[in-house]
Amino acid sequence: MTHYPIEAQLHWIVLAPLLGFALIGLAGARLGRGAVSLLGPAAPGVAFVYALDALQALRGAPEATVLAEPLWSWLDLGALSVSVGLRVDALAATLALVVTGVGFLIHVYSVGYMGHEPDGSYARYFAFLNLFTFAMLVLVLADNLVVFFVGWEGVGLCSYLLIGFWYRDLANSDAGRKAFVVNRVGDLAFVLGMFVAWRAFGTLDFARLNQEAHDDGGLATLCTLLFFIGATGKSAQLPLHVWLPDAMAGPTPVSALIHAATMVTAGVYMIGRLGGLYAVAPATLAVVAWVGCLTALYAGWVALAQRDIKKVLAWSTISQLGTMFVAMGVGAYASGLFHLVTHAFFKATLFLGAGAVIHGLAGEQDLGRMGGLARRMPVTALCTLLGALALAGVPPLSGFFSKDAILFAVGVSSVPGRSALCLLAWSAAALTGLYVARMMTLAFLGAPRSAAAAHAHEPRGTMAFALLVLAALAAAGGALGLPEAVAHGADRLGAFLAPGWAGAGHGPAAGAGGHAGLLEAERALMLRSGLLGVSVLAVGVLACTAWGGALEALFEADPGLAALRRAALGRFYVDEVYGAAVVRPLVAGSRLLWRVVDVGLVDAVVNGLARLVGLAAVALRPLQGGLLRGYAALLAAATVLLVVWAARGWFR
Amino acid sequence: MEWISAGRFAELSHGFPGDLVAIAPEVALATAACAVLLLDLGLGGTRGRGGGVVAALAWVAAVVALHRVLGAVWPGAPLAAQLALDLGGVLVFGLMLAGAPNGWVGLVALVGTLYALELVLARSGDPAASLFRAMLVTDRFATFFKVVLLLGTAATILASSVYRPMEDRRVGEFHSVLLLATMGMFLMVGATDAVMVYMSIELVSIASFVLVAWPRGDRSAAEASLKYIVYSAVASGVMVYGLSLFYGMTGSTNLADLTRFTTRGQPEAGVVAIASFLVLAGFGYKMAMVPFHFWAPDVYQGAPTPVTAYLSVTSKAAGVAIFARFVHAFTGGPSGSLVDWTQVVAVLAALTMTLGNLAALWQGNLKRMLAYSSVAHVGYVLMGVAAWDAPQGAGLNAAAFYLLVYFLMNMGAFAVVLLVADQVGSEEVETYRGLGSRAPFTALAMSVFLIALIGLPPTAGFVGKFQLFAAAIDHVNGVGRHDLVWLAVVAGVNTAISVYYYMRVVKNMWLEHGEEGVREPAMGPPILGHLTVLMLLVPVLWLGVFFGRVAQAARSLSLY
């Protein structure tokens, strides 16, 4: 057993953001703006350096090495013992680098973006953002489910705090609460899943769960399904996706970090983390693939109709997360993770670009009031364009390779209903190109449609820096995992990640193998998907420009089409269905319980008991009269009583 | 020299030097008590030249003793932790010296306490041993309680150094008596002989009378002390009567002989039961267990606050320890005992917690409320004693752990009462209105202590109560029935009742405003007082989350 020096330092990855949070949170505005601007980004920066060290150690180590730093024993309750420890394998190292790297850039960006905030809320913002980074790293580095869940809830809390960051506006805090409540539904399932897992396998340790997993009596299926329900909450999949679009009420860098790049991918990471366990539950995997695919398609449709630039991106995030779940569901864990990484790059780029637009237009988010921004904000336009092309899957940008890997994996998988799944996945990919094209055209081409758009200004300093770096990553990130079909041994990310799941016994396909026939098929597929990406994009641009009038006439002519557009704009009324089916009955039921059961029954009983207790206390009062004789007499009487009680058997 | 033969001498001095080493902590306490008294007498409590020298020496000695305590608790502690503790010691002890001209007297007493703590900790790994011809034992059970007692004593010394009425020339006597009382409790927790039981209880009682009557000329303190004396005399009388019955039956005062006798199923079983209950009166009085608790509220209210805190924590812990040892002796065997001690203790526990909580409900004086609440807490602890034979000794271990936790939270609550009374001059619950805005730290600390006393997470109170409940629920009697579940239910109901009076204080502090027109001064910075509160607050929260190691230490307690 080799020891790596970095193993004793792993805690710094987690501790650095926590210290940042503690410092900024406790000292707050007293630190001064400059110190907060330095400390805030420094925290994830330090964590990033340590994570890089861990990556170096892992790259030099044999395959499937796990760096571990046990910290302390937390609970020791009979059969259940929970220890707190950090664990870094290839998977965790990849995620940790994304979280700290992209996190660092977004912190830097925030220095500029939040520059107009008053000192107090500026400090509060960075404190929360550091706390989020800490919680996310706890989640990523956890070595068992309980610690994982601490991080899982921690990121949920930070998400809530940051969505409602501008809490003086009721709509924002409502959005925060919606996210919190919807996530609790998923978390309940997650906790139940933990109970089932402990019951079934007697451990909550990731390593042991993955190794000893078996599906006796369907318990593995049950607990993986419950975990997946938790993931639908956190990663905004059908049917618990409703909170993510509203979460755009938070500051845009928050949307980029939490609601695009990191937190919402926790569900995908969880499936990767429990890869061995999921591998023995093929039924769950099929559910995962299908739910992901339907979400991807549904969210793509909705994104097509949105008017708010951030909402378009939010729905696109839901759709892309669905695509990742498709990959996990067909067992192509490495491809799913690859897409997670590239998505973190290009979606963060898009959000930061949108943030630059919103910032430059003094808070305007409506696509209808933009237009022509490419001329006034060329750098932003270029960066956003790179992100958009990557998202649309245009070769050779990052998104093309990761999406291609997933589409290929679906094609060669053995998931139930493969052909239908294939068709839907391709349709979702096509939709992506359409809404991306629409968004880009409306925002950056044509003539300005408002005064703000006409006087937009380019971001400067930290914002421009972060945007440029991320755009470069979005463009070139695909180099991490070029498919085997392009060059032999080019899938470095896949080769790095795959051994982690090899020990699972059922080793799901980590991507395309080296089989010659498959290679040929993949090349053909790449050609097709590349063509699809480009052509759909072109159609989308045309539909918004040259064909715009004709399209509008078509909508007016056909009431069916118009209704479809309204439905897409209204998110297909899922929120309304929840309102009618869940919220309203709940409110009515609560009112009933309050008026009748609570006031009439519970309160009456409790108040009665309280009065009874009070009366008893009053009745006891004379016992404590303060007179010594009384006390002595009571002592004597008590002793006699006890003695008589003791001796009752003797005199019998 | 002829009247004592060599053989007799050897018998008398059997194990003599070794036994003395084993009671080194007791010797240290007694020595410190004498030293405090003599130094105070000689130097007159002034800050003359002699006082200054002693103060400086005591400062150094206290820091060294603290350092050694750390060495005993955590061998090989990193240098940073050692330095931090040393610096903290320098600060706290310096503040004690700076606080009052005779602050050094308390510091000398603290040196003795810390030194005794180090001795106890250093010997904690030793195998259990019977000393002085089975008068005393040193076992892990006693050791755990001794640590709690010494921590309580140290906290009391700290609290009394910020207690303004203590700025008096006679503080030497106070600290001397305090140390002697602690020594008496040391003997109590290790006593295995009826004579030692009685002597140690009396030593503690007499020292306590002096402590309670401390403020000379204070009528309420004098009244409290007198009540205490008389009540104690009656209770001791009853107990000695019981002990004499035992001696009459067994011809021995030894607890082991008693165990052998009670578990043999004698025809005298009835007398055994009567005698046991008579002895119970003595322990019950020391623990303030219903129905022997009547003295407690009056004494706790009348006594100076540091003394109240001290008695409510240490004297109770010692009482529970000696009681547990006796219950262990009475029920030493699986059969033959006439009385079902588990159920007897359980009934007494239920009565104690219920009466304590009901009486605490309507108290307007916070000290009196805490006095009743301390009666209620004895009830919770007795739940663990009742389940003394739960699997792996879970009952007694839970009781011991709870007493440690109870020391922290109750001492903390009393420290806050002391600070507030010092500033505002009142102990009424009403004066806590709006404390949250006037003195946020103090109010926050008080809220945590009260929440811990209720037994809510994430405080140590929750962990302690959880273990007690678990012990009661897991307890199985001879025929495999879970016979203490009802007690856990009673304790649960009682916890619910207690929420009301604890939360009333919290509500007053945060949700109410001080009366119009009456502007109380913002609480000044008696730094030492706040540090004392902080030193109790941190472990209450710490043990609420990281209880593993301490609970583990409390889990391996075994009776000799």
Reported as a single tens digit per residue, the pLDDT across A341-353 is: 999 999 999 999 9
Greater confidence (A487 vs A297) lies with: A297
* Number of Cβ atoms within 10 Å of the Cβ of A518: 16
In a domain, B420, yes or no: yes
Nearest-CA neighbor of B255 among B143, B146, B134, B389?
Answer: B134
CA dist A90 and A499 (Å) reads: 9
Top pLDDT among B521 and B404 is at B404
Q: For residue A403, what are the contacts with CB-CB under 8 A and spacing of at least 6? A: A323, A339, A393, A429, A529
All residues of chain A having their beta carbon less than 8 Å from the beta carbon of residue B500 are 610
Please indicate whether, in this complex, the C-beta atoms of A651 and B339 are within 8 angstroms of each other.
Answer: no
Q: Computed over its alpha carbons, how large is the radius of gyration of chain A?
A: 29
In eight-state DSSP terms, residue B176 is H
- Look-up: residue for tokens 């907060």? A36
Query: Which parts of A318-440 are beta strand (E)?
Result: none
To test the contact with chain A by mutation, choose from B358, B392, B463 the residue with the greatest count of A C-beta atoms within 10 A, namely B358
Where does residue B319 rank: exposed (0-12), middle (13-18), buried (19+ CB within 10 A)?
Answer: buried
- Cβ of B298 within 8 Å of Cβ of A626? The answer is yes
Q: Which residues contact B220 (CB under 8 A, 6 or more apart)?
A: B301, B302
Q: Do the domain assignments include residue B47?
A: no
For chain B, how many structural domains are there in total? Answer: 1
B330 contacts: CB under 8 Å, gap ≥ 6: B258, B259, B262, B276, B337, B339, B341
Would residue B436 count as lying in a domain? yes
Flag if A646 and B276 touch (Cβ within 8 Å).
Answer: yes
Reported as type and span, the H/E element at residue B129 is: strand B129-131
Helix axes B219-250, B255-262, angle to 10 degrees: 60
Residues in chain A closer than 8 A to B548 (CB atoms): 72-76
- Work out the end-to-end distance of chain B between its first and last CA atoms, rounded to an integer number of angstroms: 38
Q: Tokens representing A106?
A: 């977004």
| B445 contacts B533 by C-beta, under 8 angstroms | yes
Task: Provide the pLDDT for residue B101.
Answer: 75
Residue B531: φ, ψ to 5° = -65, -40
**What b/e string do you get for B482-514 counting C-beta neighbours within 10 Å, with b at 16 or more?**
ebbeebbebbebbbebbbebbebbbebbbeeeb
Which two three-digit tokens encode residue B466?
């959880």
**Does residue B120 form part of some domain?**
no
**pLDDT value of residue B13:** 57
Instruction: Give the tens place of pLDDT for each residue, B470-507.
Output: 889 988 877 778 888 999 999 999 999 899 899 999 99
B231·A632 Cβ contact <8 A: yes
The separation between CA A305 and the C-alpha centre of its own chain, rounded to angstroms, equals: 24
Give Dmax over CA atoms of chain B in angstroms: 84
The whole-number pLDDT of residue B431 equals: 84
| Mutate which: A628, A644, A648, vs B, most B CBs within 10 A | A628
pLDDT(B9) > 60: no
Tens of pLDDT, residues A140-159: 999 889 999 999 999 999 99
- DSSP type of residue A77: E
Give the integer Cα–Cα distance in Å for A225 and A236.
16
> What is the arithmetic mean of pLDDT over A572-600?
83
| Residue A169 φ/ψ, nearest 5 degrees | -90, 120
User: What is the arithmetic mean of pLDDT over A535-540?
Assistant: 82
A366 strand-pairing partners: A308
Closest-approach residue (CA) in chain B for A83 = B548
With CA atoms as reference, the chain B residue closest to A643 would be B274
The confidence score (pLDDT) of residue A415 equals: 83
Can you read off the two tokens belonging to residue B353? 């917690």
pLDDT at B198: 93
Please tell me the distance in Å from A30's CA to the nearest CA on chain B.
19
Predicted pLDDT at B264: 67
Q: Which of A193-207, A477-491, B195-209, B451-465 has the lowest mean pLDDT?
A: A477-491
CA distance A622 to chain B (A): 11
- Chain B positions in Cβ-Cβ contact with residue A635 (cut-off 8 Å): 231, 234-235, 238, 281, 285, 291-292, 294
What is the number of residues in chain A? 652
Cα(A472)–Cα(A387) distance, rounded to whole angstroms? 9
Q: How far is B189 from chain A (nearest CA, A)?
A: 24
Best B229, B277, B285 residue to mutate vs chain A (most A CBs within 10 Å): B277
Task: Report helix, strand or coil for B389.
Answer: coil
Residue A431 identity (one-letter amino acid) = L
User: Pairing between strand B136-138 and B129-131?
Assistant: antiparallel
Confidence of residue A131 (pLDDT cuts 50, 70, 90): very high
Q: What is the three-class DSSP state of A63?
A: coil
B292 touches chain A (CB under 8 A): yes
Higher pLDDT, A594 or B212: B212
- Report the interhelical angle of B79-99 vs B103-122 (nearest 10°): 150
Q: Count other C-beta atoms under 10 Å from residue A558's C-beta.
A: 11
The answer, for A599 touching chain B at a CB cutoff of 8 Å, is: no
Read off the DSSP letter of residue B170: T
Is it the case that residue A33 has pLDDT exceeding 70? Answer: yes
Instruction: For residues B225 and B314, give the distance between their C-alpha atoms in angstroms, rounded to a whole number.
Output: 18
**Residue B22, pLDDT above cutoff 90:** no
Q: What is the pLDDT of residue B169?
A: 64
Most confident of A4-13, A481-490, B309-318, B341-350: B309-318
Parent domain of B463: 340-560
Three-state secondary structure string covering B313-344: HHHHHHHHHHHHHHHHHHCCCCCCCCCCHHHH
- In B296-325, the residues whose Cβ lies within 8 Å of chain A are 297-298
Rounded Cα distance between B278 and A643, Å, is 7
> Nearest residue on chain B to A651, judged by CA atoms?
B270
Q: For B509-549, how does the pLDDT look when each residue is reduced to its tens digit (9 = 90+)?
A: 888 876 654 455 556 567 888 899 999 999 999 988 888 77
Regarding predicted confidence, which is higher, A647 or A610?
Answer: A610
Mutate which: A620, A650, A651, A652, vs B, most B CBs within 10 A: A650
**Cis peptide preceding A44, ω within 30 of 0:** no
Among A9, A1, A101, A85, residue whose Cα is nearest residue A53 = A9
Distance of alpha carbon B45 from alpha carbon A253, whole angstroms: 66
ipTM exceeding cut-off 0.90 for this assembly: no
List A residues 64-103 in contact with B (Cβ-Cβ < 8 A).
72-76
Could A646 and B339 be called an inter-chain contact, meaning their C-beta atoms sit closer than 8 Å?
A: yes
Instruction: Write down the pLDDT at residue A44.
Output: 92
**Polymer length of chain B:** 560
What is the least distance, in Å, from the CA of A648 to any CA of chain B? 8
Q: What percent of chain B has pLDDT above 70?
A: 90
Residue A69 dihedral angles phi and psi, to the nearest 5°: -130, 100
pLDDT class for B333, splitting at 50, 70, 90? very low
Q: Phi and psi (nearest 5°) for A281? A: -125, 75
Query: Mean pLDDT score of chain B, rounded to an integer?
Result: 85
Q: Which of A280-284, A609-613, B5-9, B209-213 has the lowest mean pLDDT?
A: B5-9
Note the maximum CA span of chain A: 110
Q: Which residues contact A355 (CB under 8 A, 6 or more apart)?
A: A109, A113, A252, A253, A255, A256, A463
Does B319 have pLDDT greater than 90? yes
The identity of residue B359, as a single letter, is: A
In order of A61, A385, A487, A502, A522, the CA distances from A338 in angstroms are 21, 21, 17, 17, 17
Q: Which residues contact A392 (CB under 8 A, 6 or more apart)?
A: A399, A432, A433, A436, A437, A533, A536, A537
CA gap B460, B503 in Å, rounded: 17
Instruction: Please give the average per-residue pLDDT across B208-231, as a whole number.
Output: 88
Band (pLDDT 50/70/90 cuts) for residue B96 is confident
The answer to whether residue B140 sits within a structural domain is: no
Contacts of A226 (CB under 8 A, 6+ apart): A189, A190, A192, A193, A196
- A144 beta partners: A205
Q: Do A610 and B500 touch (CB under 8 A)?
A: yes
> Are the beta carbons of A489 and A495 closer than 8 angstroms?
yes
Q: What is the DSSP letter of A86?
A: E
B145 or B518, which is more confident?
B145
Where residue A627 falls (left for φ over 0; alpha for ψ -120 to 50; beta otherwise) is beta
CB pairs under 8 A between A and B: 91
Which 620-649 residues of chain A touch chain B by CB within 8 A? 620-621, 623-624, 626, 628, 630-632, 634-636, 638-639, 642-643, 645-647, 649
Instruction: Please report the sign of the dihedral spanned by the C-alpha atoms of residue B439, residue B440, residue B441, residue B445.
Output: positive
Residue A506 pLDDT more than 60? no
d(CA B184, CA B170): 22
Looking at residue A18, what is its pLDDT? 92
Q: Which residues of B are less than 8 Å from A650 in CB distance?
A: 269-271, 273-274, 338
In a domain, B399, yes or no: yes
The count of other CB atoms within 10 Å of the CB of residue B331 is 21
- One DSSP character per residue, A549-617 reads HHHHHHHHH-HHHHHHHHHHHTGGGHHHHHIIIIIHHHHHHHHHIIIIIIIIIIIHHHHHHHHHHHHHH
Are B278 and A643 inside 8 Å of each other by CB? Answer: yes
Q: Is residue B209 part of a domain?
A: no
Residue pLDDT, tens place only, B392-402: 778 888 999 99
**Which letter does DSSP use for residue A354 in this model?**
H
Tell me the residue type at A128.
F
Instruction: With CB atoms and an 8 Å threshold, state whether A631 touches B552.
Output: no
- A76·B226 Cβ contact <8 A: no
> Given a cut of 90, is residue A317 above it in pLDDT?
yes
- Selecting from B292, B298, B552 the residue whose C-beta is nearest the C-beta of A635 gives B292
pLDDT attached to residue B560: 63
Q: Is the pLDDT of residue B120 over 60?
A: yes
B166 belongs to a structural domain? no
| Ramachandran sector of residue A16 (left: φ over 0; alpha: ψ -120 to 50; beta: rest) | alpha
* Of residues A613, A630, A642, nearest to B358 (C-beta): A613
Q: Contacts of residue A639 in chain B, CB cutoff 8 Å?
A: 238, 277-278, 281
CB contact under 8 A, B270 and A647: yes
**B166 — pLDDT class (breaks 50, 70, 90):** low
Residue B1 has pLDDT above 50, yes or no: no
pLDDT tens sequence across B256-295: 888 777 766 555 667 777 888 888 888 998 898 988 888 8
Is the CB of B273 less than 8 angstroms away from the CB of A74?
Answer: no
Tell me how far apart the terminal alpha carbons of chain A are, to the nearest angstrom.
Answer: 73
* A22 DSSP β-pair partners: none
CA-CA-CA-CA torsion sign (B197, B199, B202, B208): negative
Task: Evaluate whether B235 touches B208 at the Cβ level (below 8 Å).
Answer: no
Contact call for A638 and B298, based on CB within 8 A: no
Instruction: Look up residue A212 and give its two tokens.
Output: 């000893």
A145: nearest Cα among A200, A182, A105, A197: A197
**H or E stretch covering B220:** helix B219-250
Q: What is the DSSP string of B253-285?
A: -BHHHHHHHHTT--TTHHHHHHHHHHHHHHHHH
